[in-house]
Structure 1
Amino acid sequence: MTDELPLFPLGTVLFPGLVLPLHVFEERYRALVRRLTDRPEGEPREFGVVAIERGWEVDHHAGSSTSLTLHQIGCTAQIRQVTEHPDGQFDLVTVGHRRFRIEQVDADAEPYLVAKVTWLDEPEDSAKAADRLVPGVLELFQRYLRLMRPDREGEQLPEDATVLSHLVAATTALPLADRQALLASPDTTSRLRAERAMLHREVALLQRVRAVPVPMSELAVSTSPN
């Protein structure tokens, strides 16, 4: 069974439980926000955030064409706070909620894209395997954070396997393709295993960069007369 979901293509990947602030200025997405906020109290106010794989997005209703390829897996964003500006633009605070897979996209029904989606739940049968991975991933993630942000050492990190897997994916400095692959992981165990390998790689790189001093001559930048 599929449901319809309005889409908001972005150059980023959203994960369940993570906060995503947005500034909405295009008219079609302003219309989307107005439609969602006009819903009766208690109805879900969420849209799908999906990463752009290639191309660009322009408003075909304003006379331009769209050349856009989207990743198939995305995450819904629930609107938690809305600030409307006098010029009609919006500032939103949203939180990632649930993953979905795009089955079909309709570019004509609304000013914004609407997709038929299938919801992707986290399977529970791998919970024990995921829990066994948590201590190792936590230790690696803490080492990574100490190398990246020594001033924030001692941060409280979640021990829930699924929550941790989403936090690591969202906050580690990874290319978009790696983040997208983590979002598309079939379950928490697969995601944590992939993150363990990625964190090993990132920690090793950071330690190597910090351990090898760079000669000052290599940092010199030649000036241009132009």
Structure 2
Amino acid sequence: MTERLALFPLGTVLFPGLVLPLHLFEDRYRRLVGDLLERPEPRGFGVVGIQLGHEVGDGAAHRLAEVGCVAELREATRHPDGRYDIVTVGARRFRLKELDRSRPYLQGEVEYLPEEPGADTGPIARRVRRLYRLYRHRLGAAGDGPFDEAEPPDDPVAMSYVIAASLVLDGHDKQRLLECEDATLRLEAERDLLARENRILDVLPMIPAGQFLDGSFHPN
């Protein structure tokens, strides 16, 4: 069963449970937020990765990822000139089945995806947690100051998403993590990525981590 959902193409991957603030200035997305604010809660739109093209301008996003994440609107501040600053939180993942480019903003028919822990998550979760601790320590040592030492949650699904969002990776790797069918597969992929990144940080300990981190606001 599919559902019609407003879409927001973005050069950032959103994961369930994670916060995404946005600064919106394009007319189409100002209208999207205005339409959402007229509806009862929960109010959501689909964040979907751009695989070819860019974020702004008419027809900018030429090819979109197949899997995205619903962004639930939690806060919206409207500026006098019509721009919005909004805060969203990632909710359900979806698979994009069909696009509708005929409206002021992009819409699509989407199919929501289940969130399964997968088989035997305990051993892989413990291994990933150890690698993640080492990664955060090395990344903090390479940057301008210590990173947050908070532990990821125990729930394997939530843990897999928190770690996916925290890793300093390119968009392709982030999208691959979002598309994993269950938490076990995602944690296995994160194990391999963390092992790779730890090797890199061990060899190149003086690269400032801050230059790789995304800013809090994404202009769209």
Q: How far did residue 112 of structure 1 move?
A: 0.6
1:99 corresponds to which residue? 93
Mapping for residues 64-213 of structure 1, pairs under 5 Å = 65-66=59-60, 68-108=62-102, 110-124=103-117, 126=118, 129-150=120-141, 151-152=146-147, 154-210=149-205
1:99-146: CA deviations, max 9, x gaps? 0000000000x201100000011125x2x5123321111110010000
Cα distance between partner residues in 1 of 2:6 and 2:92: 14
Cα distance between partner residues in 2 of 1:111 and 1:136: 47
Contact 2:9 2:61 in 1 (8 A): no
Q: How far did residue 66 of structure 1 move?
A: 4.8
Structure 1 segments of 4+ aligned residues over 6 angstroms from their partners? none
Bigger shift: 153-162 or 97-106? 153-162
Pair 1:21 & 2:21 matched: yes
Aligned length: 202
Q: Taking structure 1 as reference, are residues 11 and 58 closer, same or farther at Cα in structure 2, changes over 3 Å only?
A: closer
Which structure 1 segments of 5+ residues have no match?
212-226
1:157-207: CA deviations, max 9, x gaps? 212111111111111011100010000001111000000011011001101
Contact 1:80 1:92 in 2 (8 A): yes
Over aligned residue pairs, what C-alpha RMSD do you find?
Answer: 1.6
Bigger shift: 168-177 or 49-58? 49-58
Cα distance between partner residues in 2 of 1:83 and 1:98: 24
Q: Taking structure 1 as reference, are residues 147 and 2 closer, same or farther at Cα in structure 2, changes over 3 Å only?
A: same
Q: Which amino acid aligns with 2:154?
A: E
Q: Which amino acid aligns with 2:113?
A: L
SS at match of 2:180: coil
Give TM-score, length-normalised by structure 1. Answer: 0.85
Give TM-score, length-normalised by structure 2. Answer: 0.87
Which of these two proteins has the greater Rg computed from alpha carbons? 1
Cα distance between partner residues in 2 of 1:83 and 1:34: 11
Q: Taking structure 1 as reference, are residues 168 and 58 closer, same or farther at Cα in structure 2, changes over 3 Å only?
A: closer
Q: Taking structure 1 as reference, are residues 208 and 36 closer, same or farther at Cα in structure 2, changes over 3 Å only?
A: same
The percent of aligned pairs where both chains have the same amino acid is 45
Q: Taking structure 1 as reference, are residues 55 and 34 closer, same or farther at Cα in structure 2, changes over 3 Å only?
A: same
Cα distance between partner residues in 2 of 1:57 and 1:205: 30
Cα distance between partner residues in 1 of 2:60 and 2:43: 26
Cα distance between partner residues in 2 of 1:16 and 1:156: 17
SS at match of 1:71: strand
Q: In structure 2, which of residues 30, 45, 48 is the aligned counterpart of residue 50 of structure 1?
A: 48
SS at match of 1:210: coil
Cα distance between partner residues in 2 of 1:10 and 1:129: 34
